[in-house]
Every structure is written in C-alpha cells, then in structure tokens.
Amino acid sequence: MSEQSERKRVILSGIQPTGTFTLGNYIGAVRNWAKLQDQFNCLYMVADLHALTVRQDPAALRRNTREAAAMLLAAGIDPAQSILFVQSHVPAHTQLNWILCCNAQFGELSRMTQFKDKSAKHPDNVNGGLFTYPALMAADILIYNADLVPVGQDQTQHLELARNVAQRFNNAYSPTFTLPEGYVTKEGAKIMSLADPTHKMSKSDTNVNAFILLTDDRDTITRKFKRAVTDSDGVVRYDPANKPGVSNLIAIYHIFTGKSIEEVEREFDGQGYGVFKEAVGAAVADGLAPIQGEYARILADKAYVDGVLKEGAAAASRIADRMIQKVYRKVGLLQL
C-alpha cells in the first residue's frame, strides 16, 4: 500500500444477504460505494452474521451471500481498489464482539429502537443476538479503525453506540479505537415504497409492487412503476410532505437521468402521471440493464467470486487480527 493510500481515511459498510437487493438498497447505499473507492480506503462486507438474528434457510443464505457479492462487483466494487469480504470469514469480528459486549451497558442496548421494532415484528424469536446485534456492528467498525461509516437514519443510533463503547474502552485501557463518524450521502438516501410512499422501500414488503429488485426485468420494472401510488392532483411537482408518491418518483428519475428536480418538473409540465411513470420506468430499466448483464456474467463464474472473497477475507483478517491481539493484550487475556 502506497504512502498516499495510507493517508486516505478508512470507510466501512456492509449489507445483509437476505435476498436480492432493491432499488432502495442500490440508490441509498451500493451505488455510492463504488464512487467512494477513489477517495477512501474502502472495506465492504456481506454481513451474513447479522442476518442470523432472523431464522434463515441455510442453503438460501449461502446462495444469497454469493449473489450479494456478485451484485456488489457488478455495481462497481473493484477488488483491486477495495476489500470485499464476507463477515463470517473474518473471525476477529466475533472475537471483538464479546469484548465490546462486556463494555456495553444493558441499558444502552435495551434503548435501541431497532431492537424494539424487530422484537415487535418477530415476537416468536426475540433472541440474544437481536439484543447484542449493535455490539457486533460496533465490532465490524472498530476492528478496522474505520473513520467513516455510510449510515441511513435507521443506523445512526447504532453508530452512536459504537462511539460510546469505543470511548469507554479507550478511557479504561488507553487509546485504542478510532471514534467513527457517519458519512451521509447528499441524495437518494431514502427511496420510498411504490405502494405506500410514507414507508421506506423494503424487500420484506408483502406487496411485490412496492419494491423494484435489481434483478427485475424491463417489463416488470415498467409494470411496477405504472402501478406506483401517486395522488389525484395530476401535477408532477416535488413536494415530499404533500405529494410523497410523486416526489419519490421524481427523486428516482433525477438520480437515473442526472436531470435536476426543476428540469424534471419542466419536462413533465402538463403531461399527467401516465407519461411520467412510463418515463421513470424506462430510465430505471435502462440504468439497471448494464448492471444486470454484468451480474449474470460474474455470477456464472463461481470460482472468480469465491476467489475475490477469499482474497478479501485474507486482506481484512490481516488488519483485524492485529487489532484483536492489541485488544486482548490490553484487557489482560494471556497471549502465548
């Protein structure tokens, strides 16, 4: 690694392999990851351990993990520039997790809104992993001394916990961890459901018309946008408070065409929603087509994907293992 790249700040982000990514995942996270590679030292992980807080089908989880890695490669993650790896392939994450659990307070963990939300959603499986999930997330970040973590609004509380636990550890045992900061992208951070634009787009939605999957074909994409909920106003105007459905579509069109919000409003002035929705669907289908082609090509080469993940795990482990040895020594664990 050159001196210049050593001066770059470290950024870490992860995505769970719980099925195909949605348009919301792509716009809010994955699309921006590729852009960050020139500016930062990037570590990107497929967070398979986090997925286990909900009972998974083992064969599907393995398949989804490889597919998630292939999609990240197709979307522009360059293994020559970034470290792409699977979370469970780097044991130091779980090793640090235990140390951080012992430095996190029960009250802190019980205040996490995601724990409350997911407990309500899965009352039959409120497990210990769901409760200590934020400590593992903190370990993911702190094991690499990440400076920045791209976060959505639903993760800011977890990042704050990571900072608090890191600070507590540093105070108790001497400076060890970098205190990470959130990295918020300017646009498209939150894409809303096409069926209910007051809620975030999610692949767990029971209505298949609510989300666009990155693997949806052109006809499916067009059909879903045609069915997208708008309003009775008939005017293409950006006004998230009063026109959430139309504003969501404008934001998507703006991202895929590069046209400003004002240009989009002018383009469809007096046109009605039918024409507008068709144009949004076409722009998204055109934008995703090259990624879908690349994804099919990469996924067909299993040896290539597994080779990238093997190299990524080795590179991530070199950094993480040094940190875990330092932490173990500081807390007093006997090193042989």
Write the pLDDT tens digit of every residue in 243-298. 999 999 999 999 999 999 999 999 999 898 999 999 999 999 999 999 999 999 99
In the 8-state DSSP scheme, what is residue 22? B
Rounded Cα–Cα distance for residues 283 and 270 (Å): 20
What phi, psi does 192 have (nearest 5°)?
-95, 165
Active-site residue list = 118, 200, 203
> What pLDDT does residue 82 have?
97
Q: Does residue 5 register a pLDDT over 60? A: no
> What pLDDT does residue 111 have?
84
Q: Does residue 3 register a pLDDT over 60? A: no
- Mean per-residue pLDDT over the chain, rounded: 91
CA trace torsion 143, 144, 150, 156 (10° rounding): 30
**Count of beta carbons in the 10 Å neighbourhood of residue 17:** 26
324 vs 186: which has the higher pLDDT: 324
Domains of the chain: 3-188+302-331 (3.40.50.620), 208-296 (1.10.240.10)
Q: What percentage of the chain carries pLDDT values higher than 90?
A: 73
> What pLDDT does residue 204 have?
80
Q: How far is CA 284 from CA 68, 92, 106, 213, in A?
A: 20, 39, 45, 11
Q: Is the pTM of this model over 0.85?
A: yes
Amino acid occupying residue 38: D
pLDDT tens sequence across 88-131: 999 999 999 999 999 999 888 888 777 777 777 777 778 887 78
Amino acid occupying residue 314: A
What phi, psi does 138 have (nearest 5°)?
-65, -40
Q: Which two tokens stand for residue 147?
A: 């400076």
Rounded Cα–Cα distance for residues 174 and 87 (Å): 27
Rounded Cα–Cα distance for residues 254 and 261 (Å): 6
Cβ contact 137:162 at 8 Å: yes
